[in-house]
Structure 1
Amino acid sequence: MSKLHAKYYADKMTQVQSAIEQNELVGEKTYRLRVAAPAIAASVVPGQFVMIRLAGTDAPLIGRALAVYNVTNDSTGTPTWIDLVYLRKGVMTETLANAALGTAVTLWGPLGNGFSNTPCDRLIMAVGGIGQTPMLTLGREANGSQSFGSPARENGWSQNVELIYGARKKSFLAGVDDFRAADFDVTLCTDDGSAGVRQLVPDVLAARLAELSKDERIRVVTCGPEIMMEKVAKVCAEAEVDCDVSMETPMACGIGVCFSCVAKVRQEGPEPWDYKRTCVEGPIFNANDICW
């Protein structure tokens, strides 16, 4: 393992304790949780995440990494609340789903590198499962409807924003109204055809890329099951389109200490690849760099 470069240190994170203000069911086994965390809300950029655990207890002991789904301002325009969307699966998320309003949670973040705000003509977000969670903020920054970071990053860097969102069935699609309200072009696909088209996300993406002009600067970002992201990466490579992936490897610390979240990433030098910590050197990587 090569030495971790200073730019990947998690020294800009803040640890806060806050009470759960909302914890709503937004899809089958899918919840949206809201907490007041002004320090995190003010500095987070799209694609970054927080670690969360229940405060004052060691059961469960290990926190859970959750992408920041949304940032909401108070009446003065100050970023104050963050929303986290999660799937109830496992001890930590089961505990969160059963937590009453007012329950104290500890969060540390923002963590990870986040998506770049590289200009393009068209941003296509290809997601599956719970992979939609980092895309609301990214799309809003891209179309200029919201700014993120401290100092605020440049927004309005894409002329068009599309979301291709797949799930097993209609009931698992969460946040669709939020994406439409944000003025994204939304295409839904389900395994059983209960919503949208009965196709897989990579196939829908391939057809979409084939019909778009080759003169457009197209950028694809993807998040979801690894097998889906691998196929999206292949589609983009064949179409010669830039693609970034948001890796969802399990994390324990979120700050690069425990080495539990490493991914095989290609590199230059005598060794063709190395293990990279998804929590600090990711979770966003160029799709061509991942050893699938």
Structure 2
Amino acid sequence: MLYRTARVLEHVSLADRTFRVRLECPELAAAIRPGQFVMLRLPNTTDPLLGRPFALYDTVLDASGTPVAVEVVYLVVGKMTGRLAEVTAGESLQVWGPLGKPFLDVGTPDRVTLVAGGIGQTPFLAYTRELLGTRGFGGDPARPRTKSVTLYYGVRSAALAAGVDDFRAAGAAVHLASDDGSIGTKGFVTQLLESHGKVGPLVGCGPEPMLHALAKVAAKWDVPCQVSLETPMACGVGICFSCVAKVKTPDGDDYKRVCIDGPCFDAAKLVWE
């Protein structure tokens, strides 16, 4: 794990209350893989005291193809993200990572289907590049893992749809759903997924009720499904046990720390409550 004070290279709005921040941190950019995350903290303050977890959105390469920066996307929901939105290019943030484990191996299927709700699309841009073999991460050379990637992305309204053009430019087919029908199909993203028929493997990220619904769809279709949990965290390194998830084991139910055992889990092995 690396701990750095990183300069903000770019900080832009993607949608309503949704921003992308680019951090200059070559060592981290070279080490991190899709599915992992970083902790960010505002420097020179104790309010808020703790860092917050943010999934890798993408890495940035220089002219020679060397990773030089990482990008994360976030939604303003509280004090930390509210203050983060005030940070401008040229200022610095404290960052540590890479944390957690990358996405689970999906093998080499013809298609991988990603399902996102809310701000849950954020881990999927780098993952799309990795799956299609257009970029390697964490020192691994680029290699295709699938022929096509489809993203099903659900939001409350059109104003909150962030990064859609990024996914299309990366080569993903994108299908949109919204609660109010202002963009894409009206309804839940899992309903849109089901209406298109059986696909798999499935990879999900978003609010827990959406992930639970996705797990039910996967079980009905009998296809592999992994989910990236958005569990609140305090330390990010497994010390505080504040981010546990209940899982099934051969010896009965147990608990795993999302920050070090996840955030990606086999949906069939989670205990949904």
For normalisation by structure 2, the TM-score amounts to 0.97
Provide closer, same or farther for how the CA distance between residues 277 and 153 of structure 1 changes in structure 2, counting only shifts above 3 A.
Answer: farther
Q: Any idea what the Cα deviations from partners look like across 1:9-56, whole Å, max 9, x if unmatched? A: xxxx11111121211111111000011111111011111000000122
Aligned mate of 1:234, from 199, 216, 230:
216
Question: 2:260, 2:34 → 1: CA distance?
Answer: 15
- 1:154 Cα deviation after fit: 5.6
Q: Is the 8 A contact 1:209 1:239 kept in 2?
A: no
**Residue type matched to 1:231 in 2?**
A
Which aligned runs of 4 or more in structure 1 are off by greater than 6 angstroms?
none
Deviates more, 1:168-177 or 1:138-147: 138-147
- SS at 1:209 equivalent: coil
Count of residue pairs the alignment pairs up: 271
In structure 1, the residue matched to 2:264 is 284
CA root-mean-square deviation: 1.1
Aligned mate of 1:64, from 48, 52, 57:
52
For the pair 1:40 / 2:28, whether they are aligned, the reply is: yes
- 1:72 Cα deviation after fit: 0.8
Question: 1:14, 1:33 → 2: CA distance?
Answer: 19
Question: 1:19, 1:46 → 2: CA distance?
Answer: 22
Question: 1:134, 1:198 → 2: CA distance?
Answer: 24
For the pair 1:131 / 2:94, whether they are aligned, the reply is: no
- 1:153 Cα deviation after fit: 5.3
Question: 1:141, 1:17 → 2: CA distance?
Answer: 27
- 1:144 Cα deviation after fit: 1.2
Question: 1:267, 1:238 → 2: CA distance?
Answer: 21
Percent of aligned positions that are identical: 44
For the pair 1:110 / 2:92, whether they are aligned, the reply is: no
Q: Any idea what the Cα deviations from partners look like across 1:103-122, whole Å, max 9, x if unmatched? A: 21110001001103432111
**Residue type matched to 2:48 in 1?**
P
Q: Is the 8 A contact 2:231 2:258 kept in 1?
A: yes
Aligned mate of 1:243, from 203, 206, 225:
225
Q: Is the 8 A contact 2:104 2:226 kept in 1?
A: no
Q: Which runs of 5+ in 2 are unaligned?
A: none
Question: 1:52, 1:286 → 2: CA distance?
Answer: 27
For the pair 1:97 / 2:79, whether they are aligned, the reply is: no
For the pair 1:267 / 2:255, whether they are aligned, the reply is: no
Question: 2:217, 2:146 → 1: CA distance?
Answer: 21
Q: Any idea what the Cα deviations from partners look like across 1:176-210, whole Å, max 9, x if unmatched? A: 00001011110000011111111211111222233
Aligned mate of 1:222, from 204, 228, 233:
204
**Residue type matched to 1:206 in 2?**
E
Aligned mate of 2:129, from 115, 132, 140:
140
Q: Is the 8 A contact 2:113 2:203 kept in 1?
A: yes
Question: 2:145, 2:196 → 1: CA distance?
Answer: 21
